A and B are shown apart, each in its own frame.
Chain A
Amino acid sequence: MIGNGLHSDDVRDLYRDLILDHARNPHHFGKLEHTTHSAEGINPLCGDKLRLYLDVDADETIVDAAFEGSGCAISVASASLLTDTVIGLSSKDAIAFFDAVTAQLAGNEPQNGKRVDLGKLRALAGVRDYPSRVKCATLAWHALKSALRQDTTPATTE
């Protein structure tokens, strides 16, 4: 018999309470009254689709953020946590969080970027053990990057 021990023993390491809470009751779900930047994120593998809205002021500060769309618990929770995180940040700091989150999910140290304290975003760390789900967790973050760059094509996780 063949065997493997790829995953940690408890799937709750992936579906932590914080993740499930955000998935059930996502923060900042909906549209913004005033949007300066927005981008769509599409995960072609599973059809998850979300749109991220940002209100960025003249000083390059993200004064508000929201998202809408449908997806699995991981992608919705990640988007919800993203909005909590980036409101009040400068665009540059938000990109530093993008780098830190994607590095955490890839199991790498962030490269030459600014070191940030991930705080609640550490709850996403369990996704690292589920390679097929990493893209769910990074979807909103790719949308963030593409919104800030004002890319016109949808962000994908490919």
Chain B
Amino acid sequence: MTQAQQRSEGQAAVAACRADFPALDQDVNGHHLVYLDSAASAQQPSVVIDAMTRYESHDHANVHRGVHTLSHRATDAYEGARETLRGFINASSTREVVFTSGTTESINLVAQSFCRPKIGAGDKVLITHLEHHANIVPWQLVCEQTGAELLVAPINDKGELELDALYALMSDDVQLLAIAHVSNALGTINPIREIVAEAHARDIPVLVDGAQGVPHMQVDVQDLDCDFYAFSGHKMFGPTGTGVLYGKEALLDAMPPYKGGGDMILEVSFSGTTFNELPYKFEAGTPNISGAVGLGAAAKYLENVGMRNVESWEHELSDYMTQRLSAIEDMRLIGTAAHKAGVQSFLLGDIHPHDLGTILDHQGVAIRTGHHCAMPVMEFFGVPGTARASLALYNNFDDIDRLVAALEKAKEIFA
């Protein structure tokens, strides 16, 4: 079999996945739904919904504490999901896989437990101009709390990081680099492996915000060699309110707990408390068990489809989307990085993004409009917001044709 045939078979397998997502099979405003807002939140396949229903219907009890059968089943389901997630990102141990409520909590955990105890006036935290608010505000807070300074590495007008400038900012007093794997507003894929190597050469640990990474590409945290990797369940076809913080064991081990409560302790007395081992030290209270089960099912689903296949299918789609959108008169594409995921921000003539969003919705096409929780990125491009179409594995060429037709209709209305 030729490589081209293999590729097209892999792609065909991904295209067939659409039928696995019940929410996609519906009419919205009289038109079959075209869902192009997966970067905000992705739809869930039946296997995820079924796994959670099965768990809630048969196996639910509290984890890590009961001696009865259901508690064992719940613990097995929860810890089984952790093992699946470990494999999904190739962490070396489940001790390095902390369940959180999502990327935002994962990043806040690192800001408060890793950074806050060890930084002070004179220290710096380095981020980039590409970040969304979840990878800006936690660092602003910890800088305010400690007197440290927040540095922001610049981007160019394609929406690519200026790598030389980023490396030049990596001075001795930088205590952490926090950087997106993929920009949510612009789609830019950052060369994380190279950036981590440069940072490590200067003894700077790196947190990667992988919210937009895991749904679109194979992520191997050992290969990237990042110190922390944060991601959300709902952007990778799992439920909302779930997520993971991956951290290198030695770093997590040395960090104090983030929240106090049950499950994160070994022994509690009023004279003091002994904390539990990893990863439980960071999971205070009864966790979102069914959410973790759903997230595990989503990771398994993606492993079955094959992230290499997903990457290749989305690459074709993304190229087609760029080509079709750029052919529209008065189209301004925002975010034109050479290396890019299937996320496209744009402005059409002088039509405000919200008007576009409404007119598209009326034709059954769901896109995101606004600042995409990345106001500094919008400011850089001198726009209050954009329209954004984002792809996932279940999209196809027809979806993009429908998007383009809907945009043409918007132009007619505003002509």
Residues of A within 8 A of B (CB): 1-7, 9, 11-12, 14-15, 20, 45-49, 70-74, 130, 132-133, 136
| A interface footprint on B360-389 (CB within 8 Å = 1, 0 otherwise) | 001000000111000100100000110000
- Besides A2-B26, A73-B352, 14 other CB < 8 A contacts? A2-B27, A3-B26, A3-B28, A5-B29, A5-B30, A7-B362, A15-B359, A46-B369, A71-B352, A72-B354, A73-B355, A74-B354, A74-B355, A133-B354
The 4 closest A-B pairs by CB, nearest first: A72-B352, A2-B26, A3-B27, A72-B354
Q: List 12 A-B pairs, Cβ < 8 Å.
A: A1-B27, A5-B29, A6-B29, A7-B29, A7-B362, A11-B413, A15-B359, A15-B413, A46-B370, A47-B375, A72-B354, A73-B355
Interface status of B358 (Cβ within 8 A of chain A): yes
Contact yes or no, A46 B385, CB < 8 A: yes
Contact yes or no, A130 B27, CB < 8 A: no
Given A11-B359, A47-B384, A133-B358, is A1 in contact with B414 using a C-beta cutoff of 8 Å?
no
Partner of B27, one of A4, A9, A72, A136: A4
Interface status of B277 (Cβ within 8 A of chain A): no
Give every chain B residue within 8 A of A73 (Cβ-Cβ).
351-352, 355, 414
Secondary structure call for the A interface: loop
Give every chain B residue within 8 A of A7 (Cβ-Cβ).
29, 362
Which residues 19-47 in B have Cβ within 8 Å of A in the complex? 25-30
Secondary structure call for the B interface: mixed
Contact yes or no, A136 B30, CB < 8 A: no
- Name the residue among A3, A4, A74 with the largest chain B CB count within 10 angstroms: A3
Give every chain A residue within 8 A of B28 (Cβ-Cβ).
3-4
How near does chain B come to A136, taking the closest CB pair, in angstroms?
Answer: 7
Residues of B within 8 A of A (CB): 25-30, 351-355, 358-359, 362, 369-371, 375, 378, 384-385, 413-414
Contact yes or no, A136 B384, CB < 8 A: no
Across the two chains, which residue of chain B brings its CB closest to A76? Answer: B352
Whole-angstrom distance between the alpha carbons of A72 and B385 in the complex? 11
How near does chain A come to B25, taking the closest CB pair, in angstroms?
Answer: 6
Give every chain A residue within 8 A of B27 (Cβ-Cβ).
1-4
Contact yes or no, A72 B355, CB < 8 A: yes
Whole-angstrom distance between the alpha carbons of A47 and B378 in the complex? 11
Give every chain A residue within 8 A of B371 (Cβ-Cβ).
46-47
How near does chain A come to B377, taking the closest CB pair, in angstroms?
Answer: 13
Given A46-B369, A46-B370, A47-B384, is A15 in contact with B355 using a C-beta cutoff of 8 Å?
yes
- Name the residue among A3, A12, A20, A72 with the largest chain B CB count within 10 angstroms: A72
Whole-angstrom distance between the alpha carbons of A12 and B384 in the complex? 25
How near does chain A come to B332, taking the closest CB pair, in angstroms?
Answer: 16
Whole-angstrom distance between the alpha carbons of A90 and B25 in the complex? 54
Whole-angstrom distance between the alpha carbons of A2 and B23 in the complex? 8
Given A7-B29, A70-B384, is A46 in contact with B354 using a C-beta cutoff of 8 Å?
yes
How near does chain B come to A110, taking the closest CB pair, in angstroms?
Answer: 26
Across the two chains, which residue of chain A brings its CB closest to B363? Answer: A11
Contact yes or no, A11 B370, CB < 8 A: no
Contact yes or no, B414 A20, CB < 8 A: yes
How near does chain B come to A37, taking the closest CB pair, in angstroms?
Answer: 25
Give every chain A residue within 8 A of B385 (Cβ-Cβ).
46-47
Across the two chains, which residue of chain A brings its CB closest to B413? Answer: A15
Give every chain B residue within 8 A of A5 (Cβ-Cβ).
29-30
Contact yes or no, B354 A136, CB < 8 A: yes
- Name the residue among B29, B30, B352, B413 with the largest chain A CB count within 10 angstroms: B352
Partner of B358, one of A3, A11, A71: A11
Give every chain B residue within 8 A of A45 (Cβ-Cβ).
370
Give every chain B residue within 8 A of A2 (Cβ-Cβ).
25-27
How near does chain A come to B320, taking the closest CB pair, in angstroms?
Answer: 26
Across the two chains, which residue of chain A brings its CB closest to B415? Answer: A20
Give every chain B residue within 8 A of A47 (Cβ-Cβ).
370-371, 375, 378, 384-385
Whole-angstrom distance between the alpha carbons of A20 and B350 in the complex? 12
Whole-angstrom distance between the alpha carbons of A144 and B28 in the complex? 36
Contact yes or no, A4 B370, CB < 8 A: no
Whole-angstrom distance between the alpha carbons of A70 and B351 in the complex? 12
Give every chain B residue within 8 A of A70 (Cβ-Cβ).
384
Give every chain B residue within 8 A of A49 (Cβ-Cβ).
384
How near does chain A come to B364, taking the closest CB pair, in angstroms?
Answer: 10
Whole-angstrom distance between the alpha carbons of A6 and B358 in the complex? 13
Give every chain A residue within 8 A of B369 (Cβ-Cβ).
46
Whole-angstrom distance between the alpha carbons of A15 and B354 in the complex? 12
Give every chain B residue within 8 A of A133 (Cβ-Cβ).
354, 358
Across the two chains, which residue of chain B brings its CB closest to A132? Answer: B358
How near does chain B come to A74, taking the closest CB pair, in angstroms?
Answer: 7
Across the two chains, which residue of chain A brings its CB closest to B362? Answer: A11
How near does chain B come to A49, taking the closest CB pair, in angstroms?
Answer: 8
Give every chain A residue within 8 A of B414 (Cβ-Cβ).
15, 20, 73
